[in-house]
Amino acid sequence: MKGDSDFIDVYGSELYDYDKIARRFGIAGFRRELFPSPSRLMRRGVVFSARGQRELAEAISKGKDYYALTGIMPTADRIHLGTKSVVETIAYFQEHGADTFILVADLEAAAARGVSLKEARKRALEFYIPAYVALGINPEKTHFYFQSDNKTVMNNAYRFSGKVTLNEFRAVYGNADPPRIMAAVTQIADILYPQERKRRLGVIPVGIDQDPHIRLTRDVINRMKRSRYVVPSSLYLKFMPSLDGSSKMSKSRPEGMIELPSSPDEACRKIKRALTGGRESVELQKKKGGEPDKCMVFELYKQHLIEDDRELEEIRRECREGRIMCGECKQRACSLMKAFLVGFDKKMGDAKKKIKKIDFLRE
């Protein structure tokens, strides 16, 4: 797993050695005890590190005005479970008082990925935004915008471009292709957009792959008049490894990933082939027990399928004590996944109706 390089590829699909990366870039371990009723992902170490978490926790506990923001990159027509985790984390902050912003990175998709603005808009409206709502975002309490409709964001992106140098860009990203530079300064403008009318703290939950953007944002702010923007907090999420246990979760290995939406049959087929922490034979597993912490099925339970901590612990114990075998355990994961997928489809249907009423920001 990667973790030694000075660069994180913001367009890569590599899974990183999370602890190594966090140490290397000086990101602190996440402290769940600072947060009120921490979510499943916070309790289970999926949210594993953070910058500025003390300030964030204080803003929440004191009921201060703060925001949560994420961006949608509308390049595909399905989302992976890592995106689900980011959306659920935004939903957590939304429920804990955050003014919520979700933007569609259509300019980035066009410049860096070759998706036309028209196509990006269509995908966002027909799929991504309903999916985010189905995963728990309250559309009535969320500000949505497309980068290409937001003149303030574009103006600020231009302004911020004057605050970074090509060398710095290379040092942070490892390369400096013009579309990536455009996308990066635009992303800084997105991250700071909610402070346009009012200087305030924000939280940006991301996969570690997005940390270069976060670092650059911090640098840009520090180069401006200190009073202009508050440096936002960021939370880092671990993404599901591929079900076959390999470190890539790229589109070139669709067999290892469950995406949304998926048919229950397709998802179960993948679960049945997943790498487990089971032993070579049933006898051995009964005797020695399984190894849940090496098991991708257990990882699915932990990150996505089981909300209740005691229930999860019970499965861990059953597995360790050799009281449950992998076949049966996978069957259980399939049933839970199926219930989730069916529920997701239904919520998508409802969300599609709701989003017709969304008033997209235009500036």
Selection from ligand SF4, ligand TRP, none that 94 binds (CB < 5 to 8 A by kind) is none
Residues 132-151 that bind ligand SF4 (CB under 6 A): none
Torsion of CA 34, 39, 41, 47, to 10 degrees: -30
184 makes contact with ligand SF4 (CB under 6 A): no
Task: Provide the minimum distance between the beta carbon of 271 and ligand SF4 in the complex, in angstroms, as a whole number.
Answer: 9
The Cβ-side half-sphere exposure at 143, using a 13 Å CA radius, reads: 15
Task: Provide the minimum distance between the beta carbon of 89 and ligand TRP in the complex, in angstroms, as a whole number.
Answer: 12
Task: Provide the minimum distance between the beta carbon of 328 and ligand SF4 in the complex, in angstroms, as a whole number.
Answer: 8
- Distance CA(232)–CA(51), nearest Å, equals 8
Task: Provide the minimum distance between the beta carbon of 276 and ligand SF4 in the complex, in angstroms, as a whole number.
Answer: 4
Selection from ligand TRP, ligand SF4, none that 53 binds (CB < 5 to 8 A by kind) is none
C-alpha pair distances (Å), 157 with each of 29, 89, 96, 162, 213: 31, 26, 30, 9, 13
Residues 6+ apart with CB under 8 A from 115: 74, 75, 106, 109, 123
Among 21, 56, 98, 105, binds ligand TRP (CB under 6 A): 105
DSSP 127: I
DSSP 350: H
Residue 10 near residue 173 (C-beta atoms within 8 A) = yes
Residue with tokens 């985010």: 132
90 makes contact with ligand TRP (CB under 6 A): no
Tokens linked to 291 = 């190894």
Residues 286-345 that bind ligand SF4 (CB under 6 A): 290, 292, 295, 297-298, 319, 324, 326, 329-330
217 makes contact with ligand SF4 (CB under 6 A): no
204 makes contact with ligand TRP (CB under 6 A): yes
Nearer to ligand TRP, 235 or 268 (CB): 235
Selection from ligand TRP, ligand SF4, none that 70 binds (CB < 5 to 8 A by kind) is ligand TRP
Task: Provide the minimum distance between the beta carbon of 306 and ligand SF4 in the complex, in angstroms, as a whole number.
Answer: 11
Question: Which pairs count as long-range contacts for 57-63, CB under 8 Å and 24+ apart, including other chains?
Answer: 57/31, 59/201, 60/35, 60/36, 60/96, 60/97, 61/36, 63/97
C-alpha pair distances (Å), 247 with each of 14, 18, 47, 268: 7, 12, 18, 21
Selection from ligand SF4, ligand TRP, none that 258 binds (CB < 5 to 8 A by kind) is none
Per-residue binder mask for ligand SF4 (CB under 6 A), 248-287, x = binder: ----------------------------xxx---------
Selection from ligand SF4, ligand TRP, none that 204 binds (CB < 5 to 8 A by kind) is ligand TRP
Among 52, 71, 256, 289, binds ligand TRP (CB under 6 A): 71
Tokens linked to 96 = 């804990």
Task: Provide the minimum distance between the beta carbon of 334 and ligand SF4 in the complex, in angstroms, as a whole number.
Answer: 11
- Distance CA(232)–CA(221), nearest Å, equals 10
Task: Provide the minimum distance between the beta carbon of 79 and ligand SF4 in the complex, in angstroms, as a whole number.
Answer: 25
- Distance CA(275)–CA(330), nearest Å, equals 11
Number of H helices, E strands in the chain: 16, 9
Residues 206-225 that bind ligand TRP (CB under 6 A): 206, 210
Rg (CA), the chain: 21
Which residues contact ligand TRP (rule: CB under 6 A)?
69-71, 73, 103, 105, 108, 187, 190-191, 204, 206, 210
Binding site for ligand SF4 (CB under 6 A): 276-278, 290, 292, 295, 297-298, 319, 324, 326, 329-330
